[in-house]
């Protein structure tokens, strides 16, 4: 009787690499420590379930719950060998993953998880925190939420017709590594999110003198005062609201009329040339305000007055100025066309405006909509047409009663460019005003401009979260706790992607080394700044085959790693044995 041969194959790919990085940070233990396990719960603990699911998300570029159970079934042997845990596909049912997300959605639990995870990341990778960048994004969903839920209508660059949730993130420069993430309703005002984010960062990083960088919404006086009172520093552009609007005009005029000499800021290009990036000047001023004081014994809370010195950077960016001038040109042209189209020539079916106040109101709305008030003016005239008609029926005659119908229409006759006002306005374009309480020896004009210019760093994390490989936007989950839990879990995935990229790039630069074979169309070209996505792609096509014969030990075979794959593992501080151990009998 011939013996029956059974061969099973599991697709391994980059799963061991991803899991190896997570284990290095102690991720299973961190999550399990803060997620309470039910006394009757059987199978894997929450830490391992979350970690394995995260590795699946990153490896398969799929955050849905439904495919996980089937994937675990085909990769069970790989998972068990790497984790040392007894794994069942029933640990990853839709119901169990739902419970996991619900637990991760609790604010206190999530804050504890990301606090310990952030501290571990800084310790394990020997990071030196100096600059924290704060920003937020929105994620849309195709469903309706109630007034108390996460999904609300709000300002969005993605799709304002859809309800959305808002994600606030504080990340560590220059990695773009998320340290803190918060999920809040989509109509939440941005400025109320900064102080909680700053406070959570300071629970992770124990020290003083951190530089928090944010957009103009962070420039609210209460936020700046809070950061200063916490013995930290801030850098943000001032919003042109209130008194700042008048100050802004005065500061720019001081530069344009030569009262303030401008200091150039150059950018070193890759070809060795120095390109003028911006010009500006800096001055100091004293800022005073009140902040909430410590609670008193009687329950009251007195305000505390604080005062500090602030540096004001008045800067004109060359690229920003060129873009603003081009936008102004387009706005002037569009507004002119819309004004002339407001009163089309006479003709059947053509609209006519019969009241002067209606014409003026519509014209002023166009000027305001395109932000060209005072830059364009228009002329119009009142046109009358008289028509005489007989009254009643019958033949016309000299004694037949008549009446005259007067038709009035208002017509725009011309649009005039106010060249003097336009030229004066152009001189204000390209200017921004930044403020910081950092000492000048730590943050001068050039450093302030270059630091804020790196705002794209945190945007890179948002792109990964909302696009490939995590694809959170659009959201198809409906329950708020599921949305918050999944967003929190995916923010850990962004941390993993960021760390892999950072560690490899740092090691390559230390070794003055470049990796070849990463670019498909040019495999001989070496690069020292590979993305995580490009690195993980090289591990596609690795399989674990298991051969079973009756009454014999199973024989396992793993696809041989290439020289490039081995080198990537070494750069990450991982041993190739995380793959070869899968084939040990």
How far is 470 from 148, CA to CA, in rounded Å? 27
Measured CA distances, 401 to 231, 396, 398, 478 (Å): 90, 9, 9, 73
From the list 94, 40, 46, 41, the residue with the least C-alpha distance to 70 is: 94
Average pLDDT over residues 416-427: 93
User: pLDDT per residue over 529-582, tens digit each?
Assistant: 999 999 999 999 999 998 887 777 888 899 999 999 999 999 999 999 999 999
**Domains assigned to the chain:** 6-105+522-583 (no CATH), 123-294+303-312+432-481 (3.90.350), 323-389+401-426 (no CATH)
Q: Taking the CA atoms of 453, 458, 461 and 462 in sequence, report the sign of the dihedral they define.
A: negative
Question: What pLDDT is stored for residue 49 in this prediction?
Answer: 95
From the list 187, 189, 140, 137, the residue with the least C-alpha distance to 163 is: 140
Measured CA distances, 440 to 89, 238, 280, 282, 412 (Å): 58, 18, 15, 10, 55
DSSP characters for 421-453? HHHHHHTTTTEEEEEE-S-TTTS-HHHHHHHHH
Q: Is the pLDDT of residue 450 over 70?
A: yes
Q: Taking the CA atoms of 100, 106, 111 and 112 in sequence, report the sign of the dihedral they define.
A: negative
Question: What pLDDT is stored for residue 1 in this prediction?
Answer: 44
SS (H, E, C) 275-339: EEEEEEEEEEEEEEEEEEEEECCCCCEEEEEEEEEEEEEEEEEHHHHHHHHHHHHHHHHHHHHHH
Mean pLDDT of the chain: 90
Question: What pLDDT is stored for residue 408 in this prediction?
Answer: 84
Q: How many alpha carbons fall within 13 Å on the CB side of residue 88?
A: 8
Q: What are phi and psi of 16, to 5 degrees?
A: -60, -40
In this structure, the number of other CB atoms found within 10 A of the CB of residue 132 comes to 26
Structure tokens given for 117 = 């995870």
SS (H, E, C) 100-159: HHHHHCCHHHHHHHHHHHHHHHHHHCCCCCCEEEEEEEEEEECCCCCCCCCCECCCCCCC
Percent of the chain at pLDDT > 70 equals 98
In this structure, the number of other CB atoms found within 10 A of the CB of residue 392 comes to 6
Q: Is the pLDDT of residue 389 over 70?
A: yes
In this structure, the number of other CB atoms found within 10 A of the CB of residue 551 comes to 5
Measured CA distances, 135 to 44, 69, 273, 440, 458 (Å): 36, 35, 32, 25, 7
Q: Is the pLDDT of residue 2 over 60?
A: no
Q: Is the pLDDT of residue 334 over 70?
A: yes
From the list 449, 456, 459, the residue with the least C-alpha distance to 317 is: 449
Question: What pLDDT is stored for residue 74 in this prediction?
Answer: 87
391 pLDDT band, cuts 50/70/90, is: confident
How far is 142 from 33, CA to CA, in rounded Å? 35
Strand order of the sheet with strand 263-268?
Answer: 177-185, 163-172, 131-141, 211-213, 233-237, 431-436, 301-317, 274-295, 263-268
User: pLDDT per residue over 133-167, tens digit each?
Assistant: 999 999 988 777 778 889 888 887 777 788 899 99
Q: What are phi and psi of 355, to 5 degrees?
A: -125, 135
Query: CB-based contacts of 207: which residues, under 8 Å, 6+ apart?
Result: 129
What does the chain come to in residues? 585
In this structure, the number of other CB atoms found within 10 A of the CB of residue 127 comes to 16
Q: Taking the CA atoms of 365, 367, 368 and 370 in sequence, report the sign of the dihedral they define.
A: positive
Residue 215: is it exposed, middle or buried by C-beta count within 10 angstroms (0-12/13-18/19+)?
A: middle
User: pLDDT per residue over 517-533, tens digit each?
Assistant: 999 889 899 999 999 99
Q: Which residue's structure tokens are 């800021």? A: 265
User: pLDDT per residue over 193-206, tens digit each?
Assistant: 999 999 999 999 98
User: pLDDT per residue over 171-196, tens digit each?
Assistant: 999 999 999 999 999 999 999 999 99
Residue 314 near residue 252 (C-beta atoms within 8 A): yes
Query: CB-based contacts of 141: which residues, under 8 Å, 6+ apart?
Result: 151, 162, 163, 164, 165, 474, 475, 476, 477, 478, 483
401: left (phi over 0), alpha (psi -120 to 50) or beta: beta
How far is 252 from 445, CA to CA, in rounded Å? 16
Helix (DSSP H) and strand (DSSP E) numbers for the chain: 19, 14
Measured CA distances, 119 to 25, 31, 71, 201, 327 (Å): 10, 14, 32, 10, 45
Rg (CA), the chain: 32
Query: CB-based contacts of 346: which residues, under 8 Å, 6+ apart?
Result: 352, 409
Please name the helix (run of DSSP H) or strand (run of DSSP E) that holds residue 163, with its range, or none: strand 163-172
Question: What pLDDT is stored for residue 273 in this prediction?
Answer: 82
Residue 163 near residue 152 (C-beta atoms within 8 A): yes
Q: Is the pLDDT of residue 257 over 80?
A: yes
Question: What pLDDT is stored for residue 349 in this prediction?
Answer: 65
Residue 442 near residue 451 (C-beta atoms within 8 A): no
Structure tokens given for 434 = 């930044």
Average pLDDT over residues 387-409: 73
User: Helix, strand, coil proportions of the chain in percent (round to 5)?
Assistant: 40, 25, 35
242: left (phi over 0), alpha (psi -120 to 50) or beta: left
User: pLDDT per residue over 494-519, tens digit each?
Assistant: 999 999 999 999 999 999 999 999 99
Average pLDDT over residues 265-282: 87
Q: Is the pLDDT of residue 90 over 70?
A: yes
Average pLDDT over residues 405-422: 90
3 pLDDT band, cuts 50/70/90, is: low
Q: Is the pLDDT of residue 27 over 50?
A: yes
41 vs 473, more confident: 473
């Amino acid at each position: 009787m011939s013996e029956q041969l059974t061969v099973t194959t599991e697709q391994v790919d980059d799963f061991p690499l991803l899991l190896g990085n997570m284990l290095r940070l102690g991720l299973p233990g961190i999550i399990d420590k803060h997620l309470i396990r039910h006394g009757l719960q059987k199978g894997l603990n929450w830490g391992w379930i979350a970690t394995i699911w995260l590795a699946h998300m990153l490896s398969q570029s799929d955050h849905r719950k439904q495919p996980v159970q089937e994937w675990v079934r085909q990769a069970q042997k790989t998972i068990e060998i790497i984790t040392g845990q007894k794994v069942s596909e029933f640990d990853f049912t839709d119901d169990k993953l739902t419970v996991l997300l619900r637990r991760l959605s609790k604010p206190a639990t999530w804050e504890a998880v990301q606090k310990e995870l952030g501290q571990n990341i800084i310790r394990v990778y020997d990071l030196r925190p100096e600059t924290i960048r704060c920003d937020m994004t929105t994620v849309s969903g195709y469903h309706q939420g109630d007034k108390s839920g996460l999904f609300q209508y709000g300002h969005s660059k993605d799709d304002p017709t859809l309800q959305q949730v808002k994600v606030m993130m504080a990340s560590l420069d220059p990695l773009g590594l998320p340290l803190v993430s918060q999920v809040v309703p989509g109509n939440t005002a941005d400025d109320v999110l900064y102080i909680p984010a700053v406070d959570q960062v300071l629970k992770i990083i124990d020290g003083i003198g951190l530089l928090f960088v944010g957009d103009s919404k962070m420039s609210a006086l209460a936020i700046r005062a809070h950061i200063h009172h916490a013995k930290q520093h801030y850098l943000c552009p001032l919003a042109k609201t209130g008194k700042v609007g008048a100050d802004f005009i005065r500061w720019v005029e001081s530069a344009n009329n030569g009262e303030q000499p401008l200091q150039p800021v150059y950018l070193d290009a890759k070809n060795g040339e120095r390109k003028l990036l911006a010009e500006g000047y800096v001055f100091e001023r004293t800022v005073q305000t009140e902040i909430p004081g410590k609670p008193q014994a009687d329950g009251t809370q007195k305000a505390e007055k604080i005062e500090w010195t602030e540096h004001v950077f008045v800067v004109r960016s060359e690229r920003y100025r060129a873009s603003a001038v081009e936008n102004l040109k387009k706005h002037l042209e569009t507004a002119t066309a819309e004004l002339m189209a407001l009163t089309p020539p006479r003709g059947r079916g053509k609209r006519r405006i019969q009241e002067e106040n209606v014409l003026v109101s519509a014209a002023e709305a166009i000027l305001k909509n395109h932000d060209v008030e005072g830059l364009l003016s228009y002329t119009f005239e009142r046109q009358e047409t008289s028509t005489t008609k007989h009254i009643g029926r019958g033949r016309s005659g000299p004694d037949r009663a008549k009446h005259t119908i007067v038709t009035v229409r208002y017509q725009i006759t011309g649009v005039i460019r106010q060249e003097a006002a336009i030229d004066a306005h152009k001189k204000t374009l390209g200017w921004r005003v930044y403020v910081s309480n950092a000492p000048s020896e730590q943050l001068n004009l050039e450093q302030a401009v270059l630091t804020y210019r790196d705002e794209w760093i945190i945007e890179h994390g948002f792109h990964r979260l909302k696009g490939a490989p995590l694809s959170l936007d659009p959201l198809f989950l409906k329950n708020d706790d599921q949305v918050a839990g999944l967003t929190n879990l995916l923010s850990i995935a962004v941390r993993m992607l960021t760390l892999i990229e950072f560690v490899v790039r740092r090691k390559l630069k230390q070794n003055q080394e470049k990796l070849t074979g990463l670019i498909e169309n040019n495999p001989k070209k070496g690069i020292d700044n590979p993305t995580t996505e490009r690195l993980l792609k090289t591990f596609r096509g690795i399989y674990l085959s298991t051969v079973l014969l009756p009454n014999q030990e199973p024989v396992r075979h793993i696809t041989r790693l290439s020289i490039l794959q081995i080198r990537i593992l070494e750069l990450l501080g991982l041993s190739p044995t995380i793959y070869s151990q899968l084939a040990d009998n």
